Amino acid sequence: MNSLRLILTKKETYASFASSLCLLFFLLLNGCATSQPTAPPTIAAPVASVPSSSQLSDKRIRAVLNKAYTTHKNNQNGKNADYIKALAEVDSRLFGITVVTADGRVFDIGDTQSKFSIQSISKVFTYAKIMQENGPAVVREKIGVNATGLPFNSVMAIELIPTRSVNPFVNAGAIASTSLVAAKNSAGRWKSIKANMDAFAANELEFNEVVYDSEVNDNLGNQAISKLLQAKGRIYSDPLEATTVYTKQCSVNVTSHDLAVMGAVLANRGINPISGKKIIDAANTPYILSVMATAGLYDNAGGWLYETGTPAKSGVGGGILAVVPGKLAIGVFSPPLDGFGNSVRGQLAAASIIKDLGINPYAFGE
Ligand code: GLN
Protein backbone atom coordinates (compact mmCIF):
# COMPACT_ATOMS: atom_id res chain seq x y z
CA MET A 1 0.00 0.00 0.00
CA ASN A 2 2.67 2.29 1.07
CA SER A 3 4.75 1.67 -2.03
CA LEU A 4 1.62 2.02 -4.21
CA ARG A 5 0.85 5.37 -2.60
CA LEU A 6 4.43 6.33 -3.18
CA ILE A 7 4.18 5.42 -6.87
CA LEU A 8 0.92 7.35 -7.15
CA THR A 9 2.44 10.32 -5.43
CA LYS A 10 5.40 10.20 -7.78
CA LYS A 11 3.03 9.95 -10.73
CA GLU A 12 1.06 12.92 -9.43
CA THR A 13 4.27 14.84 -8.97
CA TYR A 14 5.35 14.13 -12.56
CA ALA A 15 1.89 15.07 -13.78
CA SER A 16 1.82 18.35 -11.93
CA PHE A 17 5.42 19.12 -13.01
CA ALA A 18 4.44 18.48 -16.63
CA SER A 19 1.34 20.64 -16.38
CA SER A 20 3.35 23.43 -14.73
CA LEU A 21 5.80 23.26 -17.65
CA CYS A 22 2.91 23.51 -20.13
CA LEU A 23 1.49 26.44 -18.24
CA LEU A 24 4.87 28.14 -18.23
CA PHE A 25 5.24 27.66 -22.00
CA PHE A 26 1.70 28.89 -22.52
CA LEU A 27 2.32 31.96 -20.44
CA LEU A 28 5.60 32.65 -22.18
CA LEU A 29 4.10 32.24 -25.64
CA ASN A 30 1.03 34.20 -24.73
CA GLY A 31 3.15 36.90 -23.19
CA CYS A 32 5.25 37.18 -26.34
CA ALA A 33 2.29 37.08 -28.67
CA THR A 34 0.35 39.79 -26.91
CA SER A 35 3.42 41.77 -25.63
CA GLN A 36 1.91 42.10 -22.22
CA PRO A 37 4.02 44.10 -19.78
CA THR A 38 6.48 41.92 -17.97
CA ALA A 39 8.33 42.72 -14.77
CA PRO A 40 11.56 44.66 -15.41
CA PRO A 41 14.66 42.50 -15.30
CA THR A 42 16.57 42.63 -12.06
CA ILE A 43 19.85 44.48 -12.39
CA ALA A 44 22.56 42.10 -11.33
CA ALA A 45 25.55 44.42 -11.19
CA PRO A 46 25.73 46.81 -8.20
CA VAL A 47 25.38 50.48 -9.21
CA ALA A 48 27.77 53.00 -7.66
CA SER A 49 25.88 55.88 -6.06
CA VAL A 50 26.72 59.57 -6.42
CA PRO A 51 28.72 60.59 -3.32
CA SER A 52 26.99 62.90 -0.81
CA SER A 53 28.76 66.08 0.28
CA SER A 54 30.05 64.47 3.50
CA GLN A 55 31.44 61.51 1.51
CA LEU A 56 33.66 63.86 -0.50
CA SER A 57 36.85 63.97 1.56
CA ASP A 58 38.94 67.14 1.85
CA LYS A 59 41.86 65.31 0.27
CA ARG A 60 39.82 64.26 -2.75
CA ILE A 61 38.34 67.72 -3.32
CA ARG A 62 41.79 69.32 -3.04
CA ALA A 63 43.29 66.86 -5.55
CA VAL A 64 40.51 67.45 -8.08
CA LEU A 65 40.72 71.23 -7.62
CA ASN A 66 44.52 71.21 -8.12
CA LYS A 67 44.09 69.15 -11.27
CA ALA A 68 41.45 71.52 -12.73
CA TYR A 69 43.67 74.52 -11.96
CA THR A 70 46.92 73.15 -13.34
CA THR A 71 45.30 71.61 -16.43
CA HIS A 72 43.61 74.82 -17.53
CA LYS A 73 45.90 77.51 -16.11
CA ASN A 74 47.71 78.17 -19.39
CA ASN A 75 44.67 78.04 -21.65
CA GLN A 76 44.57 81.43 -23.37
CA ASN A 77 41.45 80.93 -25.47
CA GLY A 78 38.68 83.50 -25.43
CA LYS A 79 38.63 87.26 -25.06
CA ASN A 80 37.59 89.69 -22.32
CA ALA A 81 34.20 91.35 -22.84
CA ASP A 82 34.80 94.78 -24.33
CA TYR A 83 31.31 96.15 -24.89
CA ILE A 84 31.60 97.32 -21.27
CA LYS A 85 34.91 99.20 -21.61
CA ALA A 86 36.14 98.67 -18.03
CA LEU A 87 35.94 94.88 -18.49
CA ALA A 88 38.38 94.95 -21.42
CA GLU A 89 41.04 96.30 -19.05
CA VAL A 90 40.85 93.46 -16.50
CA ASP A 91 43.97 91.22 -16.42
CA SER A 92 43.07 88.20 -18.59
CA ARG A 93 45.58 85.96 -16.81
CA LEU A 94 43.70 86.01 -13.49
CA PHE A 95 42.35 82.58 -12.62
CA GLY A 96 40.80 81.55 -9.32
CA ILE A 97 38.65 78.58 -8.34
CA THR A 98 36.76 78.01 -5.08
CA VAL A 99 34.68 75.06 -3.95
CA VAL A 100 32.31 75.41 -0.99
CA THR A 101 30.53 72.25 0.14
CA ALA A 102 26.95 72.14 1.40
CA ASP A 103 28.41 71.31 4.81
CA GLY A 104 30.52 74.49 4.80
CA ARG A 105 34.05 73.37 3.85
CA VAL A 106 35.98 75.84 1.69
CA PHE A 107 38.72 75.07 -0.86
CA ASP A 108 40.51 77.86 -2.73
CA ILE A 109 43.15 77.80 -5.47
CA GLY A 110 44.71 80.59 -7.56
CA ASP A 111 43.48 84.20 -7.60
CA THR A 112 40.53 83.60 -5.31
CA GLN A 113 40.84 87.03 -3.68
CA SER A 114 40.76 88.98 -6.96
CA LYS A 115 37.64 91.10 -7.19
CA PHE A 116 35.60 91.31 -10.36
CA SER A 117 32.10 92.53 -11.27
CA ILE A 118 29.48 89.84 -10.81
CA GLN A 119 27.53 90.95 -13.92
CA SER A 120 24.86 88.45 -14.96
CA ILE A 121 25.46 86.11 -12.04
CA SER A 122 23.66 88.79 -9.97
CA LYS A 123 20.51 87.78 -11.87
CA VAL A 124 20.37 84.55 -9.86
CA PHE A 125 20.07 86.41 -6.57
CA THR A 126 17.53 88.98 -7.74
CA TYR A 127 15.56 86.06 -9.14
CA ALA A 128 15.84 84.33 -5.75
CA LYS A 129 14.55 87.52 -4.13
CA ILE A 130 11.46 87.82 -6.35
CA MET A 131 10.86 84.08 -5.91
CA GLN A 132 10.94 84.56 -2.15
CA GLU A 133 8.59 87.57 -2.37
CA ASN A 134 6.12 86.17 -4.91
CA GLY A 135 6.41 82.39 -5.12
CA PRO A 136 6.97 80.21 -8.20
CA ALA A 137 3.54 80.64 -9.83
CA VAL A 138 3.72 84.45 -9.98
CA VAL A 139 7.32 84.42 -11.23
CA ARG A 140 6.43 81.98 -13.96
CA GLU A 141 3.52 84.16 -15.04
CA LYS A 142 5.14 87.61 -14.71
CA ILE A 143 8.67 86.83 -15.93
CA GLY A 144 8.69 83.40 -17.67
CA VAL A 145 10.94 80.37 -17.21
CA ASN A 146 11.83 79.10 -20.68
CA ALA A 147 15.12 79.21 -22.51
CA THR A 148 15.44 81.56 -25.48
CA GLY A 149 18.12 79.73 -27.45
CA LEU A 150 19.24 83.24 -28.37
CA PRO A 151 21.95 85.59 -27.05
CA PHE A 152 21.45 87.12 -23.58
CA ASN A 153 20.68 90.59 -24.92
CA SER A 154 18.44 89.48 -27.77
CA VAL A 155 15.66 91.88 -28.75
CA MET A 156 14.37 89.36 -31.25
CA ALA A 157 13.57 86.97 -28.38
CA ILE A 158 11.26 89.61 -26.88
CA GLU A 159 9.42 89.90 -30.18
CA LEU A 160 9.27 86.17 -30.88
CA ILE A 161 8.48 84.62 -27.50
CA PRO A 162 5.02 85.31 -26.06
CA THR A 163 6.19 85.77 -22.43
CA ARG A 164 8.42 88.65 -23.74
CA SER A 165 10.73 88.85 -20.71
CA VAL A 166 11.22 85.06 -21.29
CA ASN A 167 13.32 84.10 -18.24
CA PRO A 168 15.11 85.85 -15.35
CA PHE A 169 18.60 85.30 -16.82
CA VAL A 170 18.41 87.05 -20.17
CA ASN A 171 18.69 90.83 -19.91
CA ALA A 172 14.97 91.38 -20.61
CA GLY A 173 13.86 89.00 -17.86
CA ALA A 174 16.54 90.24 -15.49
CA ILE A 175 15.52 93.89 -15.86
CA ALA A 176 11.86 92.83 -15.42
CA SER A 177 12.88 90.83 -12.31
CA THR A 178 14.67 93.86 -10.84
CA SER A 179 11.55 95.93 -11.52
CA LEU A 180 9.45 93.37 -9.62
CA VAL A 181 11.43 93.58 -6.35
CA ALA A 182 9.12 95.10 -3.74
CA ALA A 183 10.21 98.65 -2.80
CA LYS A 184 8.81 102.17 -2.48
CA ASN A 185 11.33 103.64 -4.91
CA SER A 186 14.46 102.83 -6.85
CA ALA A 187 16.82 103.58 -3.89
CA GLY A 188 14.87 101.13 -1.72
CA ARG A 189 14.93 98.54 -4.51
CA TRP A 190 18.71 98.78 -4.87
CA LYS A 191 19.17 98.57 -1.06
CA SER A 192 17.04 95.46 -0.85
CA ILE A 193 18.80 93.75 -3.81
CA LYS A 194 22.27 94.55 -2.41
CA ALA A 195 21.38 93.37 1.12
CA ASN A 196 20.13 90.11 -0.39
CA MET A 197 23.40 89.60 -2.31
CA ASP A 198 25.41 90.29 0.87
CA ALA A 199 23.34 87.72 2.80
CA PHE A 200 24.00 85.12 0.09
CA ALA A 201 27.75 85.88 0.22
CA ALA A 202 27.93 86.15 4.05
CA ASN A 203 30.03 89.22 3.25
CA GLU A 204 29.48 92.93 2.69
CA LEU A 205 30.20 93.09 -1.03
CA GLU A 206 31.88 96.15 -2.60
CA PHE A 207 30.36 98.25 -5.33
CA ASN A 208 32.60 98.73 -8.41
CA GLU A 209 32.14 102.42 -9.37
CA VAL A 210 34.46 102.14 -12.37
CA VAL A 211 32.51 99.30 -13.98
CA TYR A 212 29.19 100.96 -13.14
CA ASP A 213 30.22 104.32 -14.68
CA SER A 214 31.53 102.55 -17.74
CA GLU A 215 28.26 100.63 -18.27
CA VAL A 216 25.56 103.04 -17.11
CA ASN A 217 26.42 105.63 -19.77
CA ASP A 218 26.70 103.02 -22.45
CA ASN A 219 23.74 100.68 -21.88
CA LEU A 220 21.40 101.99 -24.54
CA GLY A 221 20.54 98.45 -25.65
CA ASN A 222 19.32 97.56 -22.15
CA GLN A 223 17.41 100.84 -21.92
CA ALA A 224 15.71 100.01 -25.21
CA ILE A 225 14.86 96.52 -23.92
CA SER A 226 13.25 98.02 -20.81
CA LYS A 227 11.12 100.37 -22.92
CA LEU A 228 10.14 97.53 -25.25
CA LEU A 229 9.05 95.52 -22.21
CA GLN A 230 7.00 98.51 -21.07
CA ALA A 231 5.31 98.60 -24.46
CA LYS A 232 4.43 94.91 -24.00
CA GLY A 233 3.19 95.42 -20.42
CA ARG A 234 5.99 93.25 -18.98
CA ILE A 235 7.82 95.62 -16.61
CA TYR A 236 6.69 96.42 -13.07
CA SER A 237 8.34 99.73 -12.14
CA ASP A 238 9.70 102.64 -14.14
CA PRO A 239 11.71 100.99 -16.97
CA LEU A 240 14.74 103.28 -16.99
CA GLU A 241 14.97 103.24 -13.19
CA ALA A 242 14.83 99.45 -13.25
CA THR A 243 17.62 99.40 -15.87
CA THR A 244 19.81 101.60 -13.65
CA VAL A 245 19.25 99.38 -10.58
CA TYR A 246 19.94 96.32 -12.74
CA THR A 247 23.21 97.91 -13.93
CA LYS A 248 24.12 98.55 -10.27
CA GLN A 249 23.51 94.94 -9.28
CA CYS A 250 25.75 93.82 -12.18
CA SER A 251 28.51 96.14 -10.88
CA VAL A 252 28.82 94.51 -7.47
CA ASN A 253 32.30 93.08 -6.90
CA VAL A 254 32.80 89.47 -5.88
CA THR A 255 35.66 86.96 -5.73
CA SER A 256 35.49 83.32 -6.79
CA HIS A 257 35.29 82.64 -3.06
CA ASP A 258 32.18 84.88 -2.67
CA LEU A 259 30.55 83.21 -5.69
CA ALA A 260 31.04 79.72 -4.28
CA VAL A 261 29.56 80.75 -0.91
CA MET A 262 26.57 82.34 -2.69
CA GLY A 263 26.04 79.16 -4.68
CA ALA A 264 26.44 76.96 -1.62
CA VAL A 265 23.24 78.54 -0.23
CA LEU A 266 21.41 77.02 -3.21
CA ALA A 267 23.26 73.71 -2.79
CA ASN A 268 22.24 73.69 0.87
CA ARG A 269 18.46 74.22 0.54
CA GLY A 270 18.53 77.96 1.15
CA ILE A 271 20.73 77.98 4.27
CA ASN A 272 24.11 79.70 4.10
CA PRO A 273 26.60 77.04 5.28
CA ILE A 274 29.08 79.76 6.31
CA SER A 275 26.83 82.17 8.26
CA GLY A 276 24.34 79.48 9.27
CA LYS A 277 21.50 81.88 8.31
CA LYS A 278 18.42 80.90 6.34
CA ILE A 279 18.45 83.05 3.20
CA ILE A 280 15.52 81.63 1.21
CA ASP A 281 12.93 78.89 1.69
CA ALA A 282 14.13 75.38 0.81
CA ALA A 283 10.96 74.95 -1.26
CA ASN A 284 12.05 77.78 -3.59
CA THR A 285 15.53 76.46 -4.43
CA PRO A 286 14.45 73.92 -7.09
CA TYR A 287 12.74 76.71 -9.07
CA ILE A 288 15.97 78.70 -9.10
CA LEU A 289 18.25 75.79 -9.92
CA SER A 290 16.04 74.52 -12.74
CA VAL A 291 16.16 77.81 -14.64
CA MET A 292 19.94 77.95 -14.08
CA ALA A 293 20.07 74.51 -15.72
CA THR A 294 18.04 75.49 -18.78
CA ALA A 295 19.11 79.11 -19.26
CA GLY A 296 22.09 79.94 -17.03
CA LEU A 297 24.65 79.77 -19.83
CA TYR A 298 22.31 81.30 -22.41
CA ASP A 299 22.47 79.80 -25.88
CA ASN A 300 25.11 77.33 -24.67
CA ALA A 301 22.97 76.15 -21.72
CA GLY A 302 22.25 72.87 -23.52
CA GLY A 303 25.91 72.22 -24.26
CA TRP A 304 26.84 72.88 -20.63
CA LEU A 305 24.07 70.70 -19.21
CA TYR A 306 25.05 67.94 -21.62
CA GLU A 307 28.60 67.89 -20.25
CA THR A 308 27.92 68.43 -16.53
CA GLY A 309 24.23 67.91 -15.70
CA THR A 310 24.36 70.88 -13.33
CA PRO A 311 22.69 74.27 -12.90
CA ALA A 312 25.12 77.14 -13.51
CA LYS A 313 25.30 80.85 -14.26
CA SER A 314 27.85 82.96 -16.07
CA GLY A 315 28.66 86.68 -16.17
CA VAL A 316 30.57 88.73 -18.73
CA GLY A 317 32.96 89.79 -15.95
CA GLY A 318 34.44 86.28 -16.26
CA GLY A 319 32.67 84.59 -13.38
CA ILE A 320 31.03 81.16 -13.49
CA LEU A 321 28.99 79.65 -10.71
CA ALA A 322 28.00 75.96 -10.84
CA VAL A 323 25.81 74.33 -8.20
CA VAL A 324 25.55 70.63 -7.46
CA PRO A 325 22.41 70.38 -5.31
CA GLY A 326 23.00 68.85 -1.88
CA LYS A 327 26.75 68.71 -2.47
CA LEU A 328 28.67 71.84 -3.33
CA ALA A 329 29.08 75.00 -5.37
CA ILE A 330 32.01 75.98 -7.58
CA GLY A 331 32.95 79.61 -8.22
CA VAL A 332 35.49 80.38 -10.95
CA PHE A 333 36.98 83.66 -12.14
CA SER A 334 38.73 83.90 -15.50
CA PRO A 335 37.91 86.92 -17.73
CA PRO A 336 38.31 85.61 -21.31
CA LEU A 337 34.93 84.61 -22.75
CA ASP A 338 33.74 82.39 -25.58
CA GLY A 339 31.33 83.53 -28.28
CA PHE A 340 28.30 82.97 -26.01
CA GLY A 341 29.70 85.29 -23.31
CA ASN A 342 30.72 82.47 -20.94
CA SER A 343 34.19 82.22 -19.33
CA VAL A 344 36.31 79.69 -21.24
CA ARG A 345 38.48 78.47 -18.35
CA GLY A 346 35.54 78.87 -15.95
CA GLN A 347 33.53 76.28 -17.86
CA LEU A 348 36.50 73.93 -18.34
CA ALA A 349 37.55 74.06 -14.68
CA ALA A 350 34.04 73.63 -13.24
CA ALA A 351 33.20 70.81 -15.66
CA SER A 352 36.42 68.95 -14.82
CA ILE A 353 35.74 69.21 -11.05
CA ILE A 354 32.19 67.88 -11.49
CA LYS A 355 33.40 65.01 -13.67
CA ASP A 356 36.36 64.05 -11.50
CA LEU A 357 34.29 64.07 -8.30
CA GLY A 358 31.63 61.93 -10.02
CA ILE A 359 28.82 64.30 -8.98
CA ASN A 360 26.90 64.85 -12.23
CA PRO A 361 23.33 64.38 -10.92
CA TYR A 362 22.39 62.46 -14.09
CA ALA A 363 25.27 60.01 -13.75
CA PHE A 364 25.57 57.15 -11.29
CA GLY A 365 28.88 57.79 -9.61
CA GLU A 366 32.14 56.83 -11.30
N1 GLN B 1 25.58 94.00 -17.33
C2 GLN B 1 25.69 93.11 -18.44
C3 GLN B 1 24.66 93.48 -19.49
O4 GLN B 1 23.58 93.83 -19.16
C5 GLN B 1 25.50 91.70 -17.98
C6 GLN B 1 25.56 90.69 -19.11
C7 GLN B 1 26.15 89.37 -18.74
O8 GLN B 1 26.90 89.20 -17.76
N9 GLN B 1 25.87 88.36 -19.55
O10 GLN B 1 24.90 93.45 -20.67
Residues 161-170 have pLDDT tens digits of: 999 999 999 9
The CATH H-level superfamily of 56-357 is DD-peptidase/beta-lactamase superfamily (3.40.710.10)
Distance CA 188, CA 199 (A): 16
Q: Give the H or E element holding residue 66.
A: helix 58-72
pLDDT at residue 51, rounded to an integer: 75
Distance CA 257, CA 299 (A): 26
Domain map (residue ranges) of the chain:
56-357
**φ, ψ for residue 79, nearest 5 deg:** -150, 140
Is pLDDT of 8 > 70? no
pLDDT at residue 177, rounded to an integer: 98
Give me the mean pLDDT over the 14-29 stretch: 42
The alpha carbon torsion through 361, 272, 296, 106 (nearest 10 deg) reads: -70
The CA 244 to ligand 1 mean position distance, Å, reads: 12
Cβ–Cβ < 8 Å for 75, 95: no
Please list every protein residue whose CB sits less than 6 Å from any atom of ligand 1.
119-120, 152-153, 171, 215, 222, 250, 315-316, 341
Residue 191: count other Cβ atoms within 10 Å of its Cβ. 13
The CA 317 to ligand 1 mean position distance, Å, reads: 8
Which pLDDT tens digit goes with each residue over 204-250? 999 999 999 999 989 999 999 999 999 999 999 999 999 999 999 99
The CA 242 to ligand 1 mean position distance, Å, reads: 14
Q: How confident is the model at residue 52 (pLDDT cuts 50, 70, 90)?
A: confident
pLDDT at residue 275, rounded to an integer: 98
Q: How confident is the model at residue 137 (pLDDT cuts 50, 70, 90)?
A: very high
Cβ–Cβ < 8 Å for 72, 333: no
Q: Which atom of ligand 1 is nearest to the CA of 174?
A: 4
Of 126, 148, 152, the residue with max ligand 1 atoms within 8 A of its CB, to mutate for a pocket test, comes to 152
Distance CA 170, CA 123 (A): 9
Indicate the range of 21-35, 36-50, 136-150, 260-274 predicted with least confidence.
21-35
Q: Which atom of ligand 1 is nearest to the CA of 83?
A: 10
Q: Whose CA is nearest to atom 2 of ligand 1?
A: 119
Is pLDDT of 277 > 60? yes
Q: Which atom of ligand 1 is nearest to the CA of 222?
A: 4
The CA 169 to ligand 1 mean position distance, Å, reads: 10
